[in-house]
Amino acid sequence: MKFLLSLSRIIDAVNTRVGQAVIWLTLIVVLVSASNAVVRKVFNVSSNAWLELQWYLFGAIFLLAAGYTFLRNEHVRVDVLSQKFSRRTQIKIEIFGVLFFLLPACVLIFWLSIPFFHESFVLNEQSSNTGGLIRWPAKLLIPVGFLLLILAGLSHLIKCVGFLMGKCPDPTARPVGKSAEEELADEIRRQALADQADSTTSKTTNAKGS
């Protein structure tokens, strides 16, 4: 079990490094999108290559960060029923889900995406849009992203078994503090309250002016 837990830590380290790199991709895609919008509106110039670069970067963020998201327990969970069970039963449900749902689906997509990428690479497939980019780098993201998710699933499986054996902490425990969803909900509420306050202030000012 010690070897498997060491392997799990290595997998987690790889996905963490990839996730940290993807954070910078998010900044890059924002800059590219903003630049495209400014150039198109101000100079009336558009480039299919830069537009497709946005799509490629978005795909990279979504696919490459999937394993990291799973590692951080930030994926969407529907725990309406499992929350009623004991922690050990919940972990057993996790193991069942990884073995019979997550891994089979990810392995299937990974396997089918390899020839999909290989054919594009061999043919040096180009975009059908004028001035577009080559397609195989975008298609390469599919097997790479799902490979990282498969590894994250295996790591999670090892930690679940380790928890049942008393060898490691609960892998489904969320870090102390608010989740990303809760922080987003709080931000939306703060923005709504700020907009409401601005609207009230504007109405009061207009009423005084009239």
Mean pLDDT per 10-residue interval, the chain, length 210 residues: 88 93 89 86 81 89 92 76 80 90 94 94 87 89 95 93 85 67 74 77 65
Same domain? 163 vs 187: no
Same domain? 190 vs 130: no
The pLDDT value given to residue 179? 62
The pLDDT value given to residue 164? 87
66: nearest Cα among 135, 4, 151:
151
Phi first, then psi, for residue 9 (nearest 5°) are -65, -35
The pLDDT value given to residue 209? 61
Same domain? 10 vs 108: yes
Same domain? 101 vs 18: yes
Query: How many domains are contained in the chain?
Result: 2
Other Cβ atoms less than 10 A from the Cβ of 85: the count is: 13
Per the DSSP assignment, residues forming a β-bridge with 134 are: 126
Same domain? 209 vs 122: no
Same domain? 122 vs 76: yes
Cα–Cα distance, 10 to 4 (Å, whole number)? 10
The pLDDT value given to residue 78? 67
Helix, strand or coil for residue 126? strand
Same domain? 116 vs 199: no
Same domain? 205 vs 136: no
Residue 179 neighbours by CB under 8 Å, 6+ apart: 74
Same domain? 82 vs 122: yes
Cα–Cα distance, 156 to 107 (Å, whole number)? 16
Rg, C-alpha atoms of the chain: 23
Residue 24 neighbours by CB under 8 Å, 6+ apart: none
Same domain? 148 vs 194: no
Q: How far is CA 30 from CA 23, 33, 44, 58, in A?
A: 11, 5, 20, 10
Per the structure, the complete domain to which residue 191 belongs is given by 180-210
Same domain? 144 vs 192: no
Same domain? 208 vs 194: yes
